[in-house]
């Protein structure tokens, strides 16, 4: 199995928003439009029900319904479906993982439990092993996002110890600014693992260290910007790549002013794929905030408008 998954996922993988109605219920009729926009913008995968997808604010049943809607939406495309099955309850995580395999997802992933936390890498492997085993036919990715889980463990050590007990361990969704650890993970065992970089505003840094795949929320609506960054980097035009990456930094700065997920959903509405509000405790944007956000985003000049014909469903 050595190297089997090393380049399983490459390119830009979007982390889609879970679409909701104004009353907070699921609005899965929007999913085909979200999917079509990803296809139109050259995105290679959809990492659903993760942080951007408000996974911990959804019921297990809602997450399964969302996964089924996405599977149907991408079935006739080349977009790969990665289902986040992470949960504080290991049995719910196992159920979500098994469900992902049953619907024909391409991979499954979990983040660390964030209430009762694993104190050691061995504890984390103990948690991951039965969840990965619930979907033995799917590549399994651990989703490292210490800023949200407050679990700060060595990812190189996790890959080494996890590989001995998790046969389908494919790699990581690496959402951390620790670039030393990123490079260590990518080089481990001659590049055996598929490491997906999860910091949109630092994509160029990831590329410079050898990253070939990235997962991020801004790839839902700003993928063309990141394709340009990648193209400039591959041509050796670092000046252009740096200038474009700075646009990403400015985009993230704007998102942080309003709340990243709420702002992201408002931008999706600008592109004709209205994903509705966020769930509490996150705060909805006011109409005044949305107007201000639109003005700031338009000033950046990074969105393709109107919605591409290919994405109109």
Alpha-helix runs per DSSP H in 45-120: 60-74, 90-102
Q: What long-range pairs does 176-180 form, CB within 8 A, spacing at least 24? A: 176/144, 176/145, 176/146, 176/147, 177/202, 179/205, 179/206, 179/209
52/66 Cα distance (integer angstroms): 13
pTM of the model: 0.96
The answer to whether residue 5 is catalytic is: no
CA distances from 29 to 70, 272, 302 (A): 10, 13, 26
- Domain edges within the chain: 11-311
The answer to whether residue 80 is catalytic is: no
From 173, 219, 226, 258, active-site residue: 173
255/263 Cα distance (integer angstroms): 6
From 143, 219, 226, 258, active-site residue: 143
Q: Which CATH number fits domain 11-311: 3.30.9.90, 3.20.20.80, 3.40.50.720, 3.20.20.70?
A: 3.20.20.70
Alpha-helix runs per DSSP H in the chain: 31-40, 60-74, 90-102, 121-133, 146-149, 155-163, 179-187, 203-208, 219-235, 238-258, 260-270, 287-300
256/274 Cα distance (integer angstroms): 20
Instruction: Count H helices and E strands in the chain, helices first.
Output: 12, 8
Between helix 31-40 and helix 60-74 the angle, nearest 10°, is 50
Rg for the chain (alpha carbons), in Å?
18
pLDDT tens, the chain, 313 aa long: 357 898 899 999 999 999 999 999 999 999 999 999 999 999 999 999 999 999 999 999 999 999 999 999 999 999 999 999 999 999 999 999 999 999 999 999 999 999 999 999 999 999 999 999 999 999 999 999 999 999 999 999 999 999 999 999 999 999 999 999 999 999 999 999 999 999 999 999 999 999 999 999 999 999 999 999 999 999 999 999 999 999 999 999 999 999 999 999 999 999 999 999 999 999 999 999 999 999 999 999 998 755 555 445 5
């Amino acid at each position: 199995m050595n190297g089997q998954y090393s380049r399983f996922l490459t390119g830009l993988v979007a982390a889609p928003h879970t679409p909701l109605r104004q009353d907070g219920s699921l609005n899965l009729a929007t999913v085909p439009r979200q999917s079509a926009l990803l296809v139109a913008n050259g995105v290679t995968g959809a990492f659903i029900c993760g942080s951007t997808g408000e996974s911990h604010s959804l019921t297990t049943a809602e997450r399964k319904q969302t996964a089924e809607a996405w599977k149907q939406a991408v079935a006739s495309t080349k977009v790969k479906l990665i289902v986040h099955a992470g949960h504080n309850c290991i049995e719910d995580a196992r159920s979500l993982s098994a469900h992902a395999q049953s619907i024909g997802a391409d991979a499954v992933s979990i983040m660390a439990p964030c209430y009762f936390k694993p104190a050691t890498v061995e504890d984390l492997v103990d948690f991951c092993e039965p969840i990965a085993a619930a979907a033995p036919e799917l590549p399994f990715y651990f989703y490292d996002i210490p800023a949200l889980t407050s679990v700060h463990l060595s990812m190189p050590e996790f890959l080494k110890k996890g590989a001995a007990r998790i046969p389908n361990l494919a790699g990581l969704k690496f959402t951390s600014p620790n670039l030393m650890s990123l490079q260590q993970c990518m080089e481990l065992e001659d590049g055996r693992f598929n490491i997906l970089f999860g910091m949109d505003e630092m994509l160029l840094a990831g590329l410079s260290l050898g990253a070939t795949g990235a997962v991020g929320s801004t790839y839902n609506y700003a993928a063309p910007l990141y394709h340009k960054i990648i193209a400039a980097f591959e041509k050796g035009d670092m000046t252009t790549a740096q200038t474009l990456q700075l646009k990403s930094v400015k985009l993230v700065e704007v998102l942080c002013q309003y709340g990243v997920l709420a702002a992201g959903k408002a931008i999706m509405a600008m592109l004709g794929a209205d994903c509705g509000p966020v769930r509490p405790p996150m705060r909805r944007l006011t109409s005044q905030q949305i107007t201000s956000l639109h003005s700031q985003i338009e000033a950046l000049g990074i969105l393709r408008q109107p919605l591409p014909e290919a994405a109109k469903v």
